[in-house]
């Protein structure tokens, strides 16, 4: 089964309430919350995303899929835990040691959220293999993290494929989430390679009918 996680990063100011409601009516599976700290990536969306996620939590029962593009993962877990996200994902590249990775996995589990590890396009997928037995989601970035509306990096399909093979060969239960440049033209490649959670921002928010595109992406 393929699920859709709608990124609200590029929601228009003043249109938030209407957009969130339309995404829910359009049957998104998750709200994807892109948390940026101005250090791990240039942009800073930290307070805005905390505010949006709190608002969504009040108006909707749909799960929050929180993607931390931050250096201080520990603080982000602390700040967002109060919203009881269904998923909290941090970047492998934000960790200096393997111990640090394990520490964040444990902290997210203590907050009763599912754990995701994200990797940037230039990071080898092999780097996260040893952590897969302990986590729920591998988030493979299909653009350089930092902003919405970028072009899908087609080389990433090979990485998705490799990760999928490893998961299957080791009898693991790990979802593969892809994030960046996913739309009606790029969806087939990532699904064929083994991705089962598709993040989409621009493709959905620019569509006239959110429900229609979400339905296509879920097929
Ligand atoms: C990129 C973010 C993505 C992105 C998705 O740093 O993690 O979630 O905003 O947006 P689109 O679908 O526009 O690439
Ligand atoms: Zn994201």
Asked if 183 and 7 touch (Cβ cutoff 8 Å), the reply is no
Ligand 1 atom at minimum distance from 145 CA: 6
Asked if 198 and 178 touch (Cβ cutoff 8 Å), the reply is yes
Ligand 1 atom at minimum distance from 202 CA: 13
State both tokens at 178: 């892809």
Ligand 1 pocket, Cβ-based, cut-off 6 angstroms: 7, 9, 32, 34, 67, 143, 145-150, 179-182, 199-203
Q: Is 29 a catalytic residue?
A: no
**Residue 86 buriedness (CB in 10 A; 0-12 / 13-18 / 19+):** middle
**Residue 122 buriedness (CB in 10 A; 0-12 / 13-18 / 19+):** exposed
Query: What rounded mean pLDDT belongs to the chain?
Result: 98
Q: Domain of 21: which CATH number? A: 3.20.20.70
Structural domains of the chain, count: 1
For tokens 């339905």, name the residue.
215
Q: What is the pLDDT of residues 88-109, one digit of tens each?
A: 999 999 999 999 999 999 999 9
Ligand 1 atom at minimum distance from 149 CA: 13
> Catalytic residue among 29, 34, 37, 65, which?
34
Q: Is 34 a catalytic residue?
A: yes
* Average pLDDT of the residues in 47-60: 98
25 alpha carbon to ligand 1 midpoint, in Å?
A: 21
pLDDT of residue 51: 98
Closest CA to 211 of 30, 26, 20: 26
Which residue range forms the structural domain that includes residue 157?
Answer: 3-218
Q: What is the pLDDT of residues 162-212, one digit of tens each?
A: 999 999 999 999 999 999 999 999 999 999 999 999 999 999 999 999 999
């Amino acid at each position: 089964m393929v699920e859709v996680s709608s990124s609200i990063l590029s929601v228009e100011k003043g249109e938030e309430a209407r957009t969130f409601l339309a995404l829910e009516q359009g049957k998104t599976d998750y709200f994807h919350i892109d948390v940026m700290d101005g250090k791990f990536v240039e942009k800073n969306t930290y307070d805005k995303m905390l505010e949006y996620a709190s608002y969504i939590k009040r108006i909707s029962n749909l799960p929050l899929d929180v993607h931390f593009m931050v250096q201080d993962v520990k603080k982000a877990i602390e700040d967002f835990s109060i919203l009881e996200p269904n998923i909290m994902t941090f970047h492998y590249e934000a960790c200096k040691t393997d111990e640090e990775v394990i520490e964040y996995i444990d902290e997210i589990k203590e907050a009763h959220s599912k754990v995701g590890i994200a990797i940037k396009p230039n990071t080898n997928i092999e780097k996260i293999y040893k952590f897969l037995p302990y986590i729920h989601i591998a988030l493979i970035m299909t653009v350089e993290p930092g902003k919405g509306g970028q072009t899908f990096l087609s080389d990433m399909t090979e990485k998705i494929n490799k990760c999928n093979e490893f998961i299957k060969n080791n009898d693991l239960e790990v979802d593969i989430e892809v994030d960046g440049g996913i739309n009606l033209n790029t969806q087939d490649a990532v699904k064929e390679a083994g991705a089962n959670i598709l993040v989409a921002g621009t493709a959905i928010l620019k569509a006239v009918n959110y429900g229609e595109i979400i339905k296509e992406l879920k097929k």
